[in-house]
Amino acid sequence: MMSTLLDNRYRVLQVLGGGGFGETFLAEDTKMPSNRRCVIKQLKPIADDPKMYKLLQDRFQREAAILEDLGELHLYIPKLYASFTENGKFYLVQEWIDGQTLTAKLKSEGELDEATVKTILASILQILDYVHGKGIIHRDIKPDNIILRASDRHPVLIDFGAVKETVSTGINPKQVVSSIIIGTPGFMASEQAAGRPFFASDIYSLGLTAIYMLTGKLPQELGTDTHTGEVCWHEYASQVSLGLKATIDRAIQFHPRDRFTSAKEMLSALQSDDRTAMMAASTLPTVAIAAQGNRIPSQLPNSEAQKQFRGTLAAENGATLVPSLGRRRSSKRSGIATILVILSIGGLGALGVFIAKNVKFGQNNVTSTANPTQSVPSNPQPDSFFFLADSAFQEKPRAESQVKSLRDKGYNQADSFLLTDYPNLGDKKSFQVYIERFDNIDRCIVQLKIYGQKNPDAYCAFASKDANASIQRVTAADVIPKPKPTAVASISPEQGVRDYYGLINERKYDLAWKRLSPQFQVNTAKGNDSFLDWWKQIDKVSIDKVRVVKQTSNSAIVDADLAYYKKSGGVFPETLRITMTWDETSSTWIFTETKSR
């Protein structure tokens, strides 16, 4: 253990961890009356050239300022107390979160119940919505980086990857801001492993974290579909509701474009699936099925777990209420107990049908012939199956033409069938074109959420040769949240440019700085100090012409002919291409990028 004080102030108490980036210590602040405990991260920059080291040091300070901003304005991100350099190493001093990581919790107590997992997901998604809104990608979401704080049991997100990138950048000065691979194998999306992370990469990592909470399985313990690259985990999660499965499946899609577009969208889907399930379960007929084993509370429409989660959803957005984080009931208890489970059959929405087919308890199998979610037979015309509907035609040639078109677009499972072959769908003599067949509703809903973006008329339904079977129709509108109306700019882009440089000429640099997007501030403006250093050399900026190149209701690209009059003398003309977005909150245009023309 270190015998001397770091920064002549911090006494190291123990080593918390270490790796390629440096070490992490638990320390106490000797200059605080309470000897406040804190976490110190020692980061080892890779830089042999003194000039390169100075560049990295400057960037380290800028990234530390970002962490300070994140922690100051959000209750569930650790605060940054200080940053300093000593003996050629960089140090961050952060708030110590007294609590238990998700990894530690599962090791000591076992997998979490569904209501608890949903609550944790909702909390982390709210944090990500805030972080992504700042233009920051976390890049290392995993069970070890989510701590359940002891004081209130609320999840806290730790260990952002931005500063790690700074200290690990190569020694080529031209590549100071180049992206390197930050993250943990298994929890990293493929594009992140290739050094190109997106906001959707955090969504992917959170989805795998949810699977770990529900099943206790790390990504390396799960199989992968060799054709699609998707993670196979349902076999370990028979107790998980169909709605939550569908939400997680979309989060962990292989291609970023197939995942949720934002943390807010995933949060909406998480809440929507639960509400839809409640509505469906409360309005459907029930059938009693005798089974041997334990009751799974989260599958029942009015279980205490789901009541608890509904209470959480009703809480204010800024402070999600967290119930006591309990364990899921084990399905491996010895002994046989016969119970009566009331299942909702034929439901709409994300809950769909409780899968009672071939339920296994110990060595005994119980099969309900009343439940339509049975495996699809291998013959061309099975007795029943779920399908993702595309369109229907009265003439067979038109249906065949549509099937060919879909297959040409990559939907290799597309086909058609005569509706009258499945009496539960009605007696209309039309040919139903579908994208794919499924053996259960949740898999169909996962694809519906994706395909429904392209075809709003698409839906999932159940085809059966039993005329009395329920159709169980779920439409795209049921599972895809309606987009919120986009903000419409009330000031022209040309005026937005003139207003911005008007602030510069009036020496209102702080206001001008706030009209740059967070990512622009980090990547291009190079910190507030550099921003001020530049503009304090300029006496004034004149604007000759501003031309709109492209404009939508809330974004624009313009070309501006400018001239900078330096205080030291001389005039320097420049034409800038400026990319702008409209910020409804401040009613101003925000600069997101500028390029010389």
Active site residues: 140
Residue carrying the six token digits 């007795």: 383
DSSP H or E segment with residue 150: none
Instruction: Give 280's Cβ-side CA count (13 Å radius).
Output: 26
Alpha helices in 19-146 (DSSP H): 50-73, 102-109, 114-133
- Answer yes or no: are the C-beta atoms of 262 and 201 closer than 8 Å: no
Q: End-to-end CA distance of the chain: give it in Å, rounded.
A: 56
Alpha helices in 303-345 (DSSP H): 304-313
Q: What Rg, from alpha-carbon coordinates, does the chain have?
A: 28
**Distance (Å, whole) CA 444 – CA 409:** 19
**Distance (Å, whole) CA 354 – CA 280:** 12
Tell whether 514 is in a known binding site: no
- Answer yes or no: are the C-beta atoms of 450 and 253 closer than 8 Å: yes
User: What Cα–Cα distance (Å) separates residue 218 from each residue in 49, 208, 215, 576?
Assistant: 41, 8, 9, 49
Residue carrying the six token digits 């330096």: 566
What's the distance, CA 85 to chain centroid? 34
DSSP H or E segment with residue 281: helix 263-282
- Answer yes or no: are the C-beta atoms of 254 and 229 closer than 8 Å: yes
In one-letter notation, the amino acid at residue 255 is H
Biggest distance spanned by C-alpha atoms of the chain: 91
User: What Cα–Cα distance (Å) separates residue 142 from each residue in 103, 130, 202, 231, 233?
Assistant: 9, 18, 10, 16, 17
**Distance (Å, whole) CA 193 – CA 407:** 31
- Answer yes or no: are the C-beta atoms of 434 and 414 closer than 8 Å: yes
The tokens of 503 are what? 């602030």
- Answer yes or no: are the C-beta atoms of 364 and 292 closer than 8 Å: yes
User: What Cα–Cα distance (Å) separates residue 596 from each residue in 26, 294, 573, 579?
Assistant: 47, 67, 11, 12
- Answer yes or no: are the C-beta atoms of 425 and 461 closer than 8 Å: yes
- Answer yes or no: are the C-beta atoms of 370 and 285 closer than 8 Å: no
**For 162-222, what is the HEC assignment?**
HHHHHHHCCCCHHHCCCCCCCCCCCCCCHHHHCCCCCHHHHHHHHHHHHHHHHHCCCHHHC
Plot region of 156 (φ>0 → left; ψ -120 to 50 → alpha; else → beta):
beta
Of 262, 260, 243, give the one whose Cα is nearest residue 252.
260
**Distance (Å, whole) CA 434 – CA 411:** 10
The tokens of 289 are what? 């099925």
Plot region of 472 (φ>0 → left; ψ -120 to 50 → alpha; else → beta):
left
Task: Show binding-site residues for ATP.
Answer: 41
